[in-house]
Each structure stands twice: as structure tokens, then as C-alpha cells.
């Protein structure tokens, strides 16, 4: 298992998904797939909801947290780019 997944498993009591050990990598792969699709192709399904990089990151984080059942995901906010 990847160290990142092992780190998240330390917080399994906060994860309400019935199978955290499976949910952690599955949710990560799901978010990564969305980011990869937008990055590599930038068209097709990604055009349905045009998002900038910060918006995409925030939405993927919300989706991941919601899938794990951690909080509401509302704490994921878009960060303003550093100038």
C-alpha cells in the first residue's frame, strides 16, 4: 500500500465509508482520473463543466472527502494563486 494511503488509514475512525481500506485508494484513483482527463485532453467530458485548475482541485478534494464520508467537504476552498 502507498504511504499516503497508510497515512489516511490512521484516521479511519473519522471515515464513515464502510470499507476505508478500499475507499481510500478508490477515491484517490477517481479524483486522479478526473484531473488526468482534464490535463491531458481538456475537451470532451471536461467541457461539460469548465473549471480552472484551482476550482478543479477544490472540487476533486470535496468529492474525495465526500466519498470517504469525512465531514461535509465544505472545508475545501479554492486558494487564490500566489503572485
Q: Which three cell numbers stand for residue 80?
A: 487564490
Note the residue count of the chain.
83
In this prediction, residue 75 has a pLDDT band, given cuts at 50, 70 and 90, of low
Q: What is the pTM of this model?
A: 0.80
In this prediction, residue 82 has a pLDDT band, given cuts at 50, 70 and 90, of low
Tens of pLDDT, residue by residue over 25-55, are 999 999 999 989 888 887 666 678 888 889 9
DSSP state letters, 41-78: T-SGGGGSS---HHHHHHHHHHHHHHHHT-S-STT--P
Q: Which three cell numbers stand for residue 56?
A: 478543479
Amino acid at each position: 500500500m502507498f504511504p499516503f494511503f497508510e497515512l489516511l488509514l490512521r484516521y479511519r475512525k473519522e471515515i464513515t465509508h464502510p470499507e476505508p481500506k478500499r475507499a481510500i485508494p478508490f477515491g484517490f484513483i477517481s479524483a486522479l482520473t478526473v484531473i488526468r482527463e482534464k490535463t491531458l485532453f481538456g475537451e470532451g467530458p471536461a467541457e461539460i463543466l469548465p473549471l480552472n485548475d484551482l476550482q478543479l482541485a477544490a472540487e476533486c478534494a470535496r468529492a474525495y472527502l465526500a466519498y470517504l464520508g469525512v465531514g461535509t467537504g465544505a472545508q475545501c476552498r479554492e486558494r487564490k494563486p500566489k503572485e
